[in-house]
Amino acid sequence: MAILHSHLQKNVHTYDSLFLHQGHKGRKAFQEQMGLVVQKLTEVFSVSDKPFNGQSPQQVKYEVEFMMRFSNGGYSLEEALDDIEGPILKNSLHISHRKSIAHLHCPPLISGIAAELIIGALNQSMDSWDQSTAATYVEKELVRQLAEKAELPDTADGTFTSGGTQSNYMGLLLARDYFCHRNWNHLVQEKGLPPGFEKLRILCSEEAHFTVQKSAAQLGLGKQAVVTINTDDRHRMRIEDVEDTLTELKAKELLPFAIVATCGTTDYGSIDPLYELKVLARQHALWMHVDAAFGGGLLFSHNHRENVNGLSLADSITLDFHKLFYQPISCGLFLVSDRKNLRYLSYHADYLNPVEDEEEGISNLVNKSVQTTKRFDALKVLLTFKTVGTSLLGKMIDDTIEVAREAAKQLDERAEFLVENPVPELNTVVFRFQPQTTEKDTDELNRLIQQELLYQGKAAISKTSINGRTGLKFTLLNPRTNLQDIKEVINDVEEIGREIAMGGYRFDKCERDS
Ligand SMILES: *Cc1c(COP(=O)(O)O)cnc(C)c1O
């Protein structure tokens, strides 16, 4: 017994330097180790001068796996940081580089990174008030302020989410359950899908995010429930097409229950006509969900705010802070105009949100979320609003739109480029390189340009599909990306493109694919 006790005693002291706690050892270890992390990261940033170091997937995989063979623990953080420096830190995409302009994937603000440290250290869980005693009110208040910013009615409410995927899923879940409850007095939450559910239909743009289909599938309606609407030359849903589709669906005795408008499509940043769609949604008693994962950033814009005025008409809204609000992943928001409808999500677990709590006015946010344990992501937004401020945030976004417009103009002036959105509504530019003469198929050519730029570490741009053909895309989220950067990237695209087109390009493909 005495031996066991002394063992335990010794262990307890070992554990002291593994956790951040009130004691001296914990505080000291925390301070030292955070210092090491900051030092290592600043070192890596000081030498990584490309968006990506150009290693092949095989090489990265090999280095990562080799490093992980020794991960049985027991050595210092300093050594572990040295271990991961090459395989992870240097082999990562450097998203903060000015020529990292591929996806809706932002450089994180330092305020957001700092908040991540606090989030990890406090490790609050947003499901019940007794696990997030102050954090609960931060989230609630930010939800209120953002709903107000979107000019939703006083009945609005919402929740932080893991991102646009989860927010879109929630919007369609509420829309489905609201429809079944109101029209058939049927609670899906209790009884599952009602008879006739195969007739339910969701309308969205052909350019809407794929998570509309994915949500429909997960909600038991199947992808068949999603009817896509053609877009106009500015890539927005055609209202006449929505009208015709609604008439057609009714004639077939199908049941449209929701319309998803996109406020900032992933490719073109186009904004569907929210006012016109709301008129139709009212006429046909449809739930209007607005996917503003991308375009929601315009809420703080100084020059383009009016483009998102229609958000106030939504029944539910998706917003992402890990895109135009420059937060580290993940950080999303779901808003609903009438908080009553959140009841389709709520579930009483005696240990988390007993009815007595509600009677005493205690908020347990688990009621509003599809998650249980949930991160305190709201802190990132709070620290950013406090330090950077919403005015500068809005200006940053405005500046990136200017840069995107200038990039589109520069591309347009060159004979071999075809620009799909000459006046970008947000900060993406979609284009194709199509020289007069080429030995390669132009789809293949555009695909190779994107790959070559990445492997050479010149720029990370993305490829996308334009009416079934392969095109290229700049996503200019980074407000530090300047016109000189853009010019250089365009020159590189052109130069590499011409060489590949003439068949004179030497690919180090064997090395890459081996
Ligand atoms: C990014 C995006 C999504 C998906 O959001 P995640 O945060 O990646 O889950 C949905 N809709 C649109 C329009 C987007 O741009």
Q: Whose CA is nearest to atom 3 of ligand 1?
A: 164
- DSSP class of residue 185 equals -
Question: How confident is the model over 285-305, as pLDDT tens digits?
Answer: 999 999 999 999 999 999 999
Question: Considering only CA atoms, which of 221, 290, 230 is closest in space to residue 256?
Answer: 221
Question: Could you tell me if 332 and 104 are in contact, meaning their C-beta atoms sit under 8 angstroms apart?
Answer: no
Q: How far is the CA of 293 from the centre of ligand 1 (A)?
A: 5
Q: What is the mean pLDDT of residues 352-379?
A: 88
Q: What local confidence, expressed as pLDDT, does residue 507 receive?
A: 60
Where does ligand 1 bind, in terms of residues with CB under 6 Å? 104, 163-165, 168, 209, 211, 262, 264, 266, 291, 293-294, 320, 332
Residue 145 — φ and ψ, nearest 5°? -65, -40
pLDDT of residue 402: 97
Indicate if the pLDDT at residue 322 is higher than 80.
yes
Q: For residue 263, which atom of ligand 1 is closest to its CA?
A: 13
Q: 163 alpha carbon to ligand 1 midpoint, in Å?
A: 7
Give the model confidence (pLDDT) of 110-131 as tens digits: 999 999 999 999 999 999 999 9
Domains and CATH numbers, the chain: 2-100 (1.20.1650.10), 117-387 (3.40.640.10)
Q: Tell me which of 211, 319, 427 to substitute to probe ligand 1's pocket, judged by most ligand atoms within 8 Å of the beta carbon.
A: 211
Task: Report pLDDT for 514.
Answer: 38
Non-local (6+) Cβ contacts of 116 within 8 A are: 328, 380
| pLDDT (average), residues 9-34 | 91
Residue 135 in tokens? 């954090």
- The answer for residues whose C-beta is within 8 angstroms of residue 253's C-beta and 6 or more apart is 199
Nearest CA to ligand 1 atom 5: 164
Of 311, 318, 325, 473, which is best to mutate to test ligand 1, by the most ligand atoms within 8 angstroms of its C-beta?
318
pLDDT band at 455 (very low <50, low <70, confident <90, very high): very high
SS3 (DSSP) at 241: helix
Q: Return the ligand 1 atom nearest residue 322 CA.
A: 7
DSSP conformation letters of 81-148: HHHHIIIIIITS--TTSTTB-SSS-PPPPHHHHHHHHHHHHH---TTSGGGSTTHHHHHHHHHHHHHH
- Average of per-residue pLDDT values in the chain: 94
Average of per-residue pLDDT across 357-367: 84
The average pLDDT across 46-63 equals 94
Q: Write out pLDDT tens, residues 185-232.
A: 999 999 999 999 999 999 999 999 999 999 999 999 999 999 999 999
- 226 Cα: distance to centroid of ligand 1 (angstroms): 17
Ligand 1 geometric centre to CA of 165 (Å):
6
Mean pLDDT of 443-464: 96
Whether residue 1 is predicted with pLDDT greater than 60 in this model: the reply is: no
Q: What share of the chain has pLDDT > 70, as a percent? A: 96
Q: Residue 446: its pLDDT value, please? A: 96
pLDDT score recorded for residue 4: 62
pLDDT at 352: 74
Nearest CA to ligand 1 atom 15: 266
Task: State pLDDT tens for residues 235-279.
Answer: 999 999 999 999 999 999 999 999 999 999 999 999 999 999 999
Q: Ligand 1 centroid vs 465 CA: distance in angstroms?
A: 17
- How many angstroms is it from 164 CA to the middle of ligand 1? 4
> Dihedrals φ, ψ of 480, to 5°?
-85, -15
Which atom number of ligand 1 is nearest to the Cα of residue 211? 10
Does 398 have pLDDT greater than 50?
yes
Query: Residue 506: what pLDDT?
Result: 60
- Rounded CA-CA distance 110/115 in Å is 8
Reduce the DSSP state of residue 260 to 3 states and report it.
strand
513 pLDDT above the threshold of 60: no
Instruction: Determine what percent of the chain is predicted with pLDDT higher than 90.
Output: 88
- Cα-trace Rg, the chain: 26
Report pLDDT for 360. 79
292 forms beta bridges with: 319
pLDDT digits (tens, 9 = 90+) for 474-508: 999 999 999 999 999 999 999 999 999 988 766 65
